[in-house]
């Protein structure tokens, strides 16, 4: 039987637990994939193990069970190993973070194969707490080792996944701003989506408050319920003060159990409230769907610290008139972004780069001088303009002489200029 490539997958990769979700075309919603169907266990411990006798790789809950019985060597800190650029010795064999991540992903992908034996991944979006270069590079290398082509996957932050999840819900749930309380072991943070609906497209920005010093996992374990409830009450009141919020989400292991149920209900009166541990993975799954058929991003511009805030464009003669040609658009994820266009010069020896801020509509212009480029007759000089984003506030424009057929060979000259995006 021939496999169909139609799985849209979200994968939440965290140092403690990971999760997988697939988009259901019948319900039009993501569905979590269980490590153990009999237990409906959606949280997969991000743990690898090697058995003592057979030297077999195991993962997740099964690895922990074997480790607790002394039958396997366990690695708990895969993401940490990557970020610290360490090696782990397992039975005298050294393994890098990439090695460990590759094996963990390979094991997790067996869950997809078990659930969908005749289907394969069309698009998969990985979501991580923060898009640190070390983790992204390791993830890319691991996926390459697994023969997963770059065009089939995307990597984004928890914040971006939160945006996709919240803005994929009914419009009434985001008529105003949206709040999220995320209580991890490291602490509690509040992330608010600020909706600017009087623009086209609408703009969704992010504001955050870190309450980790006021409330975190160790404090939850040491303090009495009443003390923790008092701290949480103070934090929620502070975060929501004078805010017009339609919906509030609560996620993270800190909210497990019922210790905060009545407090949350009383403080969030008049607002929709949702609790759960799969917000980010489902948001990643919605993101995978968006890559196939854009809908949300056509109507809403996401502005976070991982995306471009400005359009980058030039004016060029196209279709019998002067038109704006985009090198990059606001909302593009700037890490690893690269784009190029080919143009034919007329009588210019310079290129005007236009920077237009999506929030303020303010324009700035940068000139790139191509000294000596027009040695050939007019309209016989073809160039390639390439833009690479270095950060949210900086891009590099590279211009290369391509020549013009066999009569006007390329000079191989290259001009490069850094352009601030402010």
Domains by residue range for the chain, with CATH: 4-148 (3.30.420.40), 161-281 (3.30.420.40), 310-420 (2.60.34)
Q: Cβ distance 76 to 86 under 8 Å?
A: no
The residue to which tokens 């019922």 are assigned? 258
Please enumerate in sequence order all residues whose Cβ is within 8 A of that of 46, keeping only pairs 6 or more positions apart, or say none.
13, 14, 15, 16, 17, 18, 76, 78, 79, 104
For the chain, give the longest Cα–Cα distance. Answer: 83
The answer to whether the CB of 139 falls within 8 A of the CB of 13 is: yes
Q: How far is CA 206 from CA 105, 199, 258, 329, 330, in A?
A: 30, 16, 29, 19, 15
Q: Token digits for 213?
A: 């010093």
Q: Tell me the residue ranges of DSSP E strands in 33-118.
A: 44-45, 48-51, 57-59, 72-75, 87-90, 93-96
Q: Which of 40, 33, 32 is nearest to 112 (CA)?
A: 33
- Start-to-end C-alpha separation, the chain: 54
Q: Residue 379's pLDDT is what?
A: 62
Integer CA distances (angstroms), 410 to 115, 159, 211, 340, 368, in order: 54, 45, 58, 18, 19
Q: Which token pair is 371? A: 């000294």
Contact 402, 410 (CB under 8 A): yes
Residue 263, classed as helix, strand or coil, is helix
Q: How many CB atoms lie within 10 A of CB 29?
A: 14
Please state, in angstroms and rounded to a whole number, the distance separating the CA atoms of residues 403 and 142.
39
Six token digits for residue 326: 């985009």
Give residue 412's Cα distance to chain centre. 37
To which residue do tokens 């950060």 refer?
391
103 contacts 48 by C-beta, under 8 angstroms: yes
Task: Give, in order, the Cα–Cα distances in Å from 51 to each of 70, 73, 250.
Answer: 9, 6, 38
Output the pTM of the full model: 0.89
117: CB partners within 8 A, 6+ apart: none
Strand partners of residue 72 = 51
User: Where would I find the beta strands (DSSP E) of 232-321?
Assistant: 245-251, 272-275, 300-303, 310-317
Residue 267's CB is within 10 A of a number of other CB atoms, namely: 18
- On whether the CB atoms of residues 19 and 278 are closer than 8 A, the answer is yes
Helical ranges in 69-174 per DSSP H = 78-83, 97-115, 133-145, 158-167
Beta strands 17-24 and 44-45, pairing class: antiparallel
**Tokens coding 179:** 């709040």
pLDDT tens per residue across all 422 residues of the chain: 445 668 999 999 999 999 999 999 999 999 999 877 656 678 999 999 999 999 999 999 999 999 999 999 999 999 999 999 999 999 999 999 999 999 999 999 999 999 999 999 999 999 999 999 999 999 999 999 999 999 999 999 999 999 999 999 999 999 999 999 999 999 999 999 999 988 888 999 999 999 999 999 888 888 777 888 899 999 999 999 999 999 999 999 899 888 889 999 999 988 999 999 999 999 999 999 999 999 999 899 999 888 999 999 998 877 667 889 999 999 988 988 899 999 887 777 889 999 999 888 899 999 999 887 765 555 667 889 999 999 999 999 999 988 776 667 777 889 999 999 97
Q: What is the DSSP letter of 119?
A: E
pLDDT at 1: 44
**Using an 8 Å Cβ cutoff, are 402 and 344 in contact?**
no
The conformation of residue 151, written as its DSSP 8-state character, comes to G
- Whole-angstrom Cα distance, residue 137 to residue 127? 14
Q: What pLDDT score does 2 carry?
A: 46
CA contacts within 13 A on the Cβ side of 299: 10
């Amino acid at each position: 039987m021939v496999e169909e490539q139609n799985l849209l997958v979200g994968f939440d990769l965290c140092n403690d637990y990971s999760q997988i979700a697939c988009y259901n075309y019948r319900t039009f919603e993501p569905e979590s994939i269980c490590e153990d169907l009999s237990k409906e266990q959606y949280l997969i411990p991000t743990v690898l193990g090697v058995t003592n006798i057979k030297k077999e790789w195991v993962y997740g809950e099964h690895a922990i069970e074997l480790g607790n019985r002394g039958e396997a060597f366990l690695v708990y800190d895969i993401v940490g190993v990557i970020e610290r650029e360490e090696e782990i010795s397992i039975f005298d064999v050294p393994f890098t973070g990439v090695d460990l991540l590759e094996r963990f992903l390979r094991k997790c992908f067996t869950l997809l194969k078990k659930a969908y034996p005749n289907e394969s991944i069309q698009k998969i979006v990985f979501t991580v707490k923060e898009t640190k270069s070390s983790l992204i590079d390791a993830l890319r290398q691991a996926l390459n080792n697994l023969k997963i082509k770059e065009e089939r996957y995307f990597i984004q932050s928890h914040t971006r996944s939160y945006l996709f999840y919240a803005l994929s819900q009914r419009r009434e749930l985001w008529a105003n701003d949206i709040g999220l309380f995320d209580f991890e072991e490291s602490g509690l943070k509040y992330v608010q989506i600020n909706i600017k609906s009087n623009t086209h497209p609408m703009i969704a920005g992010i504001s955050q408050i870190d309450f980790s010093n006021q409330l975190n996992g160790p404090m939850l374990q040491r303090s009495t319920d009443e003390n923790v409830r008092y701290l949480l009450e103070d934090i929620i009141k502070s975060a929501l003060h004078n805010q017009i919020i339609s919906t509030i989400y609560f996620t993270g292991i800190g909210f497990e159990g019922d210790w905060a149920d009545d407090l949350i209900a009383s403080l969030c009166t008049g607002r929709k409230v949702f609790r759960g541990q799969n917000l980010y993975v489902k948001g990643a799954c919605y993101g995978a769907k968006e890559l196939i058929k854009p809908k949300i991003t056509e109507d809403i511009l996401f502005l976070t610290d991982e995306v471009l805030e400005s359009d980058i464009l030039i004016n060029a003669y196209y279709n019998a008139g002067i038109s704006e040609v985009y090198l990059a658009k606001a909302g593009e994820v700037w890490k690893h972004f690269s784009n190029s266009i080919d143009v034919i010069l007329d009588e210019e020896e310079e290129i005007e780069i236009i920077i237009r801020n999506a929030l303020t509509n303010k324009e700035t212009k940068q000139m790139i001088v191509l000294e000596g480029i027009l040695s050939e007759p007019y309209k016989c000089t073809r160039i390639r303009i390439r833009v690479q984003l270095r950060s949210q506030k900086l891009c590099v424009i590279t211009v290369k002489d391509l020549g013009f057929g066999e009569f006007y060979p390329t000079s191989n000259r290259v001009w490069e200029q850094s352009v601030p995006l402010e």
